[in-house]
């Protein structure tokens, strides 16, 4: 069953209403590895409810539409989909507790050709229900490896951010816990690939892998620490490409280049010397 371009472009996403509290914000922060040092008071602002802040990257888990590509009517070979890119623009700092509404839409489907897959570009807007303030706009690209050649547009992908050719200006090493995926999944992504060893082996991995969005959060932590002095109001946007999986327990090294308010970055795991995040760009204040 091939992708029906018009059907996917007009997919009937329902508005999502989600309430979260400080416990959820703390759980998210712990899931991406904050307070490995429980005496670090800068990080404690995100893991202790007294005058706490929410991590900026928590926006990616708010108001998600779920794994909608698994719907048979989509025509998408959901077993072969991968999370290719993720971006976010923050319009205001996230409150540590709120009720939000979110709307999702597909903005383009790019046909890479028979046997080469397709790209699904999506956009999600998250709004504070109480104030009406727009909190964040999320952008993602799904790589549907089994769905190329359906006759759709062949151009329209988001531009790739090029990294500077000089040595990084800053490097930040952040460890992940062996049980990191089991904690992070409690923020809403219960894919068994991140918990069940048998499912992971069936997918070609030696063990359950870390969620891509958890790696996204670790890199966001590195930027918040290195470039924003842990002030979430200075964190404006972030986008990147996923290039390889991370295993829980590995150390993620984020390499950063600062050019005025633009932070270019990439990340690799030290234990295997493998690049896991690439072509990253963040804007800071």
Q: How far apart are CA 284 and CA 254, in angstroms?
A: 16
Annotated catalytic residues are: 189, 194, 209, 212
Q: How far apart are CA 197 and CA 206, in angstroms?
A: 8
* pLDDT at residue number 1: 67
Decide: 253 and 194 in contact? Cβ < 8 Å: no
Third-level CATH fold of 5-144: Thiol Ester Dehydrase; Chain A (3.10.129)
Third-level CATH fold of 170-284: Thiol Ester Dehydrase; Chain A (3.10.129)
Residue-wise pLDDT for 192-220, tens only, equals 999 999 999 988 899 999 999 999 999 99
Decide: 75 and 81 in contact? Cβ < 8 Å: no
- Identical fold, 5-144 and 170-284: yes
Backbone phi and psi for residue 124, each to the nearest 5 degrees, phi listed first: -130, 135
Closest CA to 31 of 51, 8, 54, 63: 54
The helix/strand/coil state of 200 is: helix
Tokens of 58: 């928590």
Q: How far apart are CA 211 and CA 189, in angstroms?
A: 8
The helix/strand/coil state of 18 is: strand
Decide: 256 and 170 in contact? Cβ < 8 Å: yes
Q: Give 117's DSSP letter.
A: -
* pLDDT at residue number 116: 93
Boundaries of every domain in the chain: 5-144, 170-284
Residue-wise pLDDT for 134-162, tens only, equals 999 999 999 998 999 999 999 888 899 99
Secondary structure tally for the chain: helices H, strands E: 6, 10
pTM above 0.75, yes or no: yes
Closest CA to 276 of 189, 223, 213: 213
């Amino acid at each position: 069953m091939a992708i029906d371009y018009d059907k996917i472009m007009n997919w009937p996403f329902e508005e999502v209403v989600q309430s979260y509290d400080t416990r959820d914000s703390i759980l998210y922060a712990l899931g991406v590895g904050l307070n490995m040092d429980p005496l670090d008071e800068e990080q404690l602002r995100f893991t202790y409810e007294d005058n706490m802040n929410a991590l900026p990257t928590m926006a990616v888990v708010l108001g998600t539409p779920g794994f909608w590509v698994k719907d048979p009517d989509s025509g998408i070979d959901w077993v072969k989909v991968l999370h290719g890119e993720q971006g976010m623009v923050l319009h205001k700092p996230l409150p540590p507790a709120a009720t939000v509404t979110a709307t999702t839409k597909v903005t383009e489907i790019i046909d890479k050709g028979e046997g080469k897959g397709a790209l699904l570009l999506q956009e999600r807007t998250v709004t504070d229900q109480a104030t009406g303030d727009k909190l964040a706009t999320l952008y993602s690209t799904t790589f549907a490896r089994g769905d190329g050649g359906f006759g759709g547009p062949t151009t329209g992908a988001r531009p790739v951010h090029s990294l500077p050719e000089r040595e990084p200006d800053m490097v930040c090493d952040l460890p992940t816990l062996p049980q990191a995926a089991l904690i992070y999944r409690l923020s809403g992504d219960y894919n068994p690939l991140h918990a069940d060893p048998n499912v992971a082996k069936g997918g070609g991995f030696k063990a359950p892998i870390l969620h891509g969005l958890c790696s996204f959060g670790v890199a966001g932590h590195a930027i918040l620490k290195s470039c924003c002095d842990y002030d979430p109001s200075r964190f404006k946007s972030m986008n990147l490409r996923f290039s390889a999986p991370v295993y829980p327990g590995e150390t993620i090294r984020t390499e950063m280049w600062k050019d005025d308010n633009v932070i270019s970055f990439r990340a690799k795991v030290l234990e295997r010397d493998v690049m896991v995040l690439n072509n990253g760009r963040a804007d800071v204040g």
